[in-house]
Structure 1
């Protein structure tokens, strides 16, 4: 920095050396990615703005160790955002441009770039896959990150891989590609990645197997699901709770809810002993004999287990199972406190009420109605529990919509009640999320309920 200060002596404004030092210090020690990234961008801006800085402290002089640290912050930062891919790409390009081969981006960085390139689009997408393959091509061909232009011509995995190149994908690269293909439901990439992984001789990891399990579940190919489970068992790989959740999803996705509930019952038994231990023993034996699924004694449900089953049971109108699993979910929380993970469960339950809620008039006409449990009293109790979520936990717009539809049906379209519910929701959530009620369909509900604006107070 002294060279910058010496060259700056004739200037009237303060030397930028202090700002440079502060930026470097933040990159070296900062914990929050947002603040560290702001410091990095400030540093880049200073280098672009002042000729003396361009001469005395150009981008090539930024210590490689700081760029490595910044890359790792980006890679490990959660939740994922749209900025992860361009940010990581920019820093990797900076590392490359420094010109030292021994300080080029690492394999971990390349694998992360390939992964991030495909994200940011719901369900994946061809554009994301092409960005990932372009990043892989840069790695294989030893090119500067971002050199390959995606969609200039359609890239395929076999065309990208060059066995003569010194840079070859490792098991994590293949695992990332299989995961990307699974998310995007891209059969071509999925089959190519699995075939080339097998040809490479690299042993698949548990995560790779679970990605295959997810793909076949989405495709509703239960024979392939069972084959993956069997292979994992033969290779000594534990399914783990994420694998068991994948199995639950596979069964519910193919109309085999009873088997999904069998897995849940065994998991629940590991939390609190089932009153029928013989039944648990039979269920364990049947799952192992017919589905090759082993549920360890120390495996317990997690939030994904609860939410996925609540979603399925509510969607299919199974009130008893929905509320029973929901009660288990609430009981599993520390000190019975609700948290952000319960918000998707509430959304699923209110979706169930919006589909199956039944008013008193209909129950009076048919006391044995199959949906009689989805009544106003049950809805009111669930709604009151919903309002006890901690401050700061904001539901989705869909949740608000399903609540209003559910009360509309369960109350026999009691307009006064609907207005009261709307006002209560607005007063509760609008201060922390003003945007929540701005959706078109929610505004239409509001306009119907409060056609006379004096009623909306």
Structure 2
């Protein structure tokens, strides 16, 4: 029997579903991905893998019932572990695992149940679970954010299982797999775009998901027998497929990849849509090419597409990133006017600004467009990056005055019917942008406590006194809000710049943060903590040595 993927097709093996008699399953092939995270066996995966903080607690009743079904309570004789389970035991295990997949709202619990189902003895060529449950798991994985390499491997495993057992992979599942292939890392690499193209080629060639990828990654072509995979009904790519490829190519910032993706789109006969142009707009923005940005804006206008709020936000970021704060400020003022109307003089100025933007920059602002949370974040980050703390804080105050307009619903894999969406405060990203501004423009200029806030802002904005005021507001956030490690990192960097690396002040700040938000950060924050407290440890050692000398 052939090994590798062919053997994985003989039994729907997946990542983490290790079988002693099948060591070269699909899991081993998936493990060859560079940078992929190795999954653990089903016995420990539910407790050791990272679990989303938004996931509901484990249904202990189902797991207890599952453990009880694993015991042959009616037979007191010793049972050989290698012997196959009885039909009743097999049915009980399968029933409990299918219940978990049906009723859980957690991706981790559903994935764990799927792995355990794969470890049960296979029934001919039947799928480990009904197709509608496998499609439901695929939908959970597709809606998971962020799209990590682990999510891509899991979705590839589920779709491969569906394909191997004769099921139908739908168009949206192919599109989701292509999207996950290009979003496995924080920075999209050239290899990620190639992986997305491999999945696309499998889709158009009616091959199994991952067949082209394994041809590229396998050490021996004999291990991958994709020719034995039966043909299916053709699933044709749509404009979403091609736009996804263009978006992934744009994220690589490589013009060659963008040209290749656009050539594939043109060959398909589908005209680019609004999302396609927004992906290209993001590409030229990140490359700092305002000429390319204007060209895309002209195409959007010629095609009759409206920019919308996301398109206006992209324009604010494109021009603000290049220092064109006049354009960014004019766009924000026009959007803000929809919420807080200005007087007659202000309306006349806004009308002139609209005409100027339309004629010189090809930006047409729709009448019904209002700012969202991203609009405020971008403006705060732009002003912070270019060193204008006054306008930065003004936009921050505008955002806080309209909380109903900027609330963010955290994306979830599935929202339980009994639970409401978790609405997170939009202030955390704003604080992070401002702290980053202090780390960039901070000045070590001590100012007296009696100075007013206005004087401090007009004299030296990015100073310790203003940072302390912001930190006092930041530390009093509601207990349900936990900042990211990047927010904490830039805050500490801001204190390091504005205090000229005053270790005593940094230790005090760290202790306040640890008392308020906990001390469970890792990575570079652990290294930074060791640097901050290294001097304190040395001072304590010296004090102990001096005490011993005096006692002697």
Q: TM-score range by the shorter chain?
A: 0.7 to 0.9
Cα deviation for residue 382 of structure 1 reads 0.8
307, 331, 335: which is aligned to 2:401?
A: 331
Stretch moving more, 117-126 or 12-21: 12-21
Cα deviation for residue 423 of structure 1 reads 2.0
C-alpha contact (below 8 Å) 1:357/1:374 kept by paired residues: yes
193, 200, 204: which is aligned to 2:272?
A: 204
From the two aligned structures, give the one with the greater helix fraction: 1
Which whole-Å CA distance do the structure 1 matches of 2:486 and 2:213 have between them?
A: 38
Which whole-Å CA distance do the structure 2 matches of 1:58 and 1:368 have between them?
A: 74
Residue in structure 2 matched with residue 24 of structure 1 by the alignment: 98
CA offsets 1:56-91 (integer angstroms, 9 cap, x no match): x76436322222222222222334333221111111
Asked if 1:429 corresponds to 2:517, the answer is yes
| Residues 454, 349 of structure 1: alpha-carbon distance in 2 compared, 3 angstrom cutoff | farther
Give runs of aligned pairs for residues 226-265 of structure 1, distance below 5 A.
226-265=294-333
C-alpha contact (below 8 Å) 1:306/1:329 kept by paired residues: yes
Which whole-Å CA distance do the structure 2 matches of 1:112 and 1:414 have between them?
A: 49
Residue in structure 2 matched with residue 35 of structure 1 by the alignment: 109
| Residues 300, 451 of structure 1: alpha-carbon distance in 2 compared, 3 angstrom cutoff | farther
Cα deviation for residue 260 of structure 1 reads 0.9
Which whole-Å CA distance do the structure 2 matches of 1:320 and 1:109 have between them?
A: 47
Cα deviation for residue 368 of structure 1 reads 11
C-alpha contact (below 8 Å) 2:285/2:318 kept by paired residues: yes
| Residues 368, 434 of structure 1: alpha-carbon distance in 2 compared, 3 angstrom cutoff | closer
Give runs of aligned pairs for residues 184-203 of structure 1, distance below 5 A.
184-203=252-271
Cα deviation for residue 342 of structure 1 reads 2.3
CA offsets 1:255-290 (integer angstroms, 9 cap, x no match): 212111111111111121235222111111111222
| Alignment coverage as a number of residue pairs | 424
C-alpha contact (below 8 Å) 2:387/2:437 kept by paired residues: yes
Cα deviation for residue 244 of structure 1 reads 0.7
C-alpha contact (below 8 Å) 2:443/2:497 kept by paired residues: yes
Stretch moving more, 440-449 or 344-353: 440-449
Asked if 1:348 corresponds to 2:433, the answer is yes
SS in 2 for 1:149: helix
TM-score scaled to structure 1, two decimals?
Answer: 0.83
Which whole-Å CA distance do the structure 1 matches of 2:89 and 2:215 have between them?
A: 45
| Residues 61, 379 of structure 1: alpha-carbon distance in 2 compared, 3 angstrom cutoff | closer
Residue in structure 2 matched with residue 314 of structure 1 by the alignment: 384
Cα-Cα RMSD: 3.3
Stretch moving more, 239-248 or 285-294: 285-294
Residue in structure 1 matched with residue 366 of structure 2 by the alignment: 296
| Residues 302, 435 of structure 1: alpha-carbon distance in 2 compared, 3 angstrom cutoff | same
User: Which has the bigger relative contact order, CA under 8 A and spacing at least 6?
Assistant: 2
Residue in structure 2 matched with residue 399 of structure 1 by the alignment: 487
Asked if 1:86 corresponds to 2:153, the answer is yes
| Residues 237, 150 of structure 1: alpha-carbon distance in 2 compared, 3 angstrom cutoff | farther
Which whole-Å CA distance do the structure 2 matches of 1:34 and 1:349 have between them?
A: 35
| Residues 246, 369 of structure 1: alpha-carbon distance in 2 compared, 3 angstrom cutoff | closer
Which whole-Å CA distance do the structure 2 matches of 1:151 and 1:451 have between them?
A: 57
SS in 2 for 1:277: helix
Residue in structure 2 matched with residue 45 of structure 1 by the alignment: 119
SS in 1 for 2:426: helix
375, 391, 404: which is aligned to 2:463?
A: 375
Give runs of aligned pairs for residues 128-167 of structure 1, distance below 5 A.
128-149=192-213, 152=216
Residue in structure 1 matched with residue 527 of structure 2 by the alignment: 440
Residue in structure 2 matched with residue 358 of structure 1 by the alignment: 443
Cα deviation for residue 150 of structure 1 reads 5.8
Which whole-Å CA distance do the structure 2 matches of 1:241 and 1:369 have between them?
A: 31
| Residues 94, 256 of structure 1: alpha-carbon distance in 2 compared, 3 angstrom cutoff | same
Q: Unaligned regions of 5+ residues in structure 2, if any? A: 1-72, 80-84, 218-232, 408-422, 449-454, 543-552
C-alpha contact (below 8 Å) 1:356/1:371 kept by paired residues: no
CA offsets 1:6-57 (integer angstroms, 9 cap, x no match): xx9999677121120122233334333222212111111123xxxxxx34x7
Residue in structure 2 matched with residue 283 of structure 1 by the alignment: 353
178, 184, 187: which is aligned to 1:114?
A: 178
Which whole-Å CA distance do the structure 2 matches of 1:69 and 1:264 have between them?
A: 41
Cα deviation for residue 386 of structure 1 reads 1.0
SS in 2 for 1:234: helix
| Residues 313, 439 of structure 1: alpha-carbon distance in 2 compared, 3 angstrom cutoff | same
303, 318, 340: which is aligned to 1:272?
A: 340
Residue in structure 2 matched with residue 67 of structure 1 by the alignment: 134
